[in-house]
Amino acid sequence: FTYAFTETVPQLVAAFKPDIVVSQLGVDTFRNDPLAHLNITTNGFCRVVGMIKSIAPKWVALGGGGYDIGNVARAWTLAWAIMNNITLPDELPEAFLEQYPLEGFRSRKLRDEEYQEKGPRKEIMRDEVGKVIAGIREKVFPLINPPA
């Protein structure tokens, strides 16, 4: 996801030159989401949020899906911090964990451990993402920046 975003969205925003970017920052893309299993971590999510912040002239960020409440809370905390130039510690506050013991916080950390798929599955994923990127470049890019 992060690779596909990096390879397409900044170029599309630069070509289209929007006055405002509206993003839906759902987290059902997360690696441990019980529905989608798209392998993004808080680290990749933060990279994408940071890229949106850097390329958007103005920005409206909307909340969205995620079937793991712990992921949603951690992701939105991190997104809010990025939007407001706040550096957060990685440890979740003990008082918070005590107050919300049943909310699905499997870790005491705000950020996920780094994760990278390996082996044949990574190659399959890379090939599929490459096809999507090629399709976007072939079908969408010409609409935004038509040839002269």
Helix axes 2-16, 42-55, angle to 10 degrees: 10
- The pLDDT tens digits along the chain (148 residues) read 889 999 999 999 999 999 999 999 999 888 888 787 678 899 999 999 999 999 999 999 998 878 888 888 899 999 999 999 999 999 988 888 888 876 767 788 899 888 788 888 888 988 999 999 999 999 999 988 766 6
d(CA 145, CA 114): 36
Domain spans of the chain, in order of start: 2-143
Query: How many residues in the chain?
Result: 148
Contact 32, 71 (CB under 8 A): yes
Q: What tokens does 113 get?
A: 């451990």
**Neighbour-count burial of 49, counting CB atoms closer than 10 A to its CB (0-12 exposed, 13-18 middle, 19+ buried):** buried
pLDDT at 145: 74
Q: Please tell me the pTM assigned to this model.
A: 0.87
For domain 2-143, the question of CATH label 3.10.580.10 is answered with no
pLDDT at 67: 83
pLDDT at 102: 65
Q: Letter for the amino acid at 86?
A: I
Strands 59-62 and 21-24 come out as parallel
